[in-house]
Amino acid sequence: MSADAASRMGVLVRMCEALNSSDERWEGFAEAVRILRRAMGAKWAPSFLLDDSGARAVLVTDPDQREVIGERWPWIPARVHVRDPWIDPAGRPVAVADNLDSDGWRVVPAEFKTWFDTTGVVVAAHAQGRHLGAVLMTFGEEIRIDPEMGEFLTAAGHILGRAVHSGIVARRQQELGALKERREMADELHVDLAQQVAALGLHAEAANLDLAEGNSAALAADVRAVGDMVATLKVALRHQMMGLRAEAAAADEGCLAGIEAQAEAFRRVAPVALHVECADPERARDVPAGVSAQLMRVLQEALSNAWIHSAAANVRIRLTAGDRRARLEIEDDGRGFDLATVPDTRLGTVIMRERMAAVGGNLAIHSAPGRGTLVVAEAPLRVTEGWIALTERIGIFA
């Protein structure tokens, strides 16, 4: 193996290691592209990855390149840029210099050409026979792709493409899991309602018998029981509905909007004063929808516990979204409890822990008799500082 061949093989190995060594897909992808850029000596090497619709390719790059490219080109239309001659069926690289007379180059906007000039090379992120995006390298001087370089860049593009494809698969599996969970919730709600309605029916029949027998004391007891069951049923329905509405609000408008929606709904059904705090509402909007959904469920369970078990008068909800993690705190001034003596199943903490674990997060509970309860839920944002936070919009990395 020649020195050049060995060097290129080492680059590909380091790219694979970068993609496999990071828990955050964005970070691994970022480092792999940086390795390729340094190896090629490229002046610029931003990536544009196709979104779910296939109509746009979204810019993914580091701060320095974003400052030059991102203000004007946060995304590019696929119909202009993802077309012949830039798309090769086998994912091979394409040099601009070889296609200056093509229609594909002529339709590229002049402003775009100011940075992606005639020295540009399109390295396709290619996997499973699909074009998923590209790294657009430009060098400041004309470059020709010889056979060895072509093989090297094709292999590099396939490595990046497989990473993108695995992100797509992971996200879809997560979506399928969320769909399964919604179906299970619907089934649970249906069963719960059916049981409560059946119990109401039995008490109504008992009331009729008491009325027929003239047993006024038993009749009064049955009527009270029916009233209590109706009140419980109303609360259960409202509690479930406010969780679903809050999750929808979080998906549409962000995590903070979901929390505020849940707090407002809870105020209508419980005599508890709620206070919502968020130091940086703008950053809170970057919390991914999957993380927000699980935080909403944890909040719903914690509020229920504060009301039913803790008999709290006040609850303070704090949301913090940093560069890497989101943190939700629910603190009440209720009676508290001894963590060692109260089973997890009673407070739903097992479910809350599982929900946070599903998004790579964790849950902590702090409480003591007479000192209230603090529930802390944390989860990674899966976004690397300096890289674009568009996991849902791009539909690539979950």
pLDDT digits (tens, 9 = 90+) for 99-122: 999 999 999 998 888 888 899 999
The CATH superfamily label for domain 3-171 reads GAF domain (3.30.450.40)
Share of the chain above pLDDT 90, in %: 27
pLDDT mean over 209-234: 74
Query: Which residues, other chains included, contact 238 with Cβ-Cβ below 8 Å and sequence gap of 6+?
Result: 265, 268, 269
Q: Is the pLDDT of residue 396 over 70?
A: no
C-alpha distances (whole Å) from 227 to each of 76, 224, 377 are 61, 5, 37
Query: Which residues, other chains included, contact 359 with Cβ-Cβ below 8 Å and sequence gap of 6+?
Result: 290, 291, 294, 379, 380
Distance between CA atoms of 113 and 120, rounded to whole angstroms? 9
pLDDT at 319: 95
pTM: 0.49
Q: Kindly list the domain boundaries of the chain, sorted by start residue.
A: 3-171, 253-394
Same fold, 3-171 and 253-394: no
Q: What is the DSSP letter of 44?
A: B
Crossing angle of helices 25-40 and 147-213, rounded to 10°: 170
pLDDT at 180: 58
Confidence of residue 156 (pLDDT cuts 50, 70, 90): very high
Distance between CA atoms of 318 and 279, rounded to whole angstroms? 9
Q: Which CATH architecture has domain 253-394?
A: 2-Layer Sandwich (3.30)
Distance between CA atoms of 263 and 250, rounded to whole angstroms? 13
pLDDT at 39: 92
Q: What is the DSSP letter of 356?
A: H
Confidence of residue 288 (pLDDT cuts 50, 70, 90): confident
Q: How far is CA 227 from the centre of its chain?
A: 42
pLDDT tens-digit profile of 335-368?
998 887 776 655 577 778 888 887 888 999 999 9
pLDDT at 394: 43
pLDDT mean over 270-286: 87
pLDDT mean over 13-35: 82
Q: Is the pLDDT of residue 385 over 50?
A: no
C-alpha distances (whole Å) from 301 to each of 241, 260, 307 are 13, 15, 10
Q: Is the pLDDT of residue 389 over 80?
A: no
Confidence of residue 135 (pLDDT cuts 50, 70, 90): very high
Helix/strand/coil percentages in the chain, nearest 5: 55, 15, 30
pLDDT at 397: 43
Higher pLDDT, 53 or 282: 282
Query: Residue 168 carries which side chain, given as an amino acid letter?
Result: I
Supply the mean pLDDT for the chain: 79
Query: Residue 386 carries which side chain, given as an amino acid letter?
Result: G
- Helix (H) / strand (E) containing 77: strand 75-77
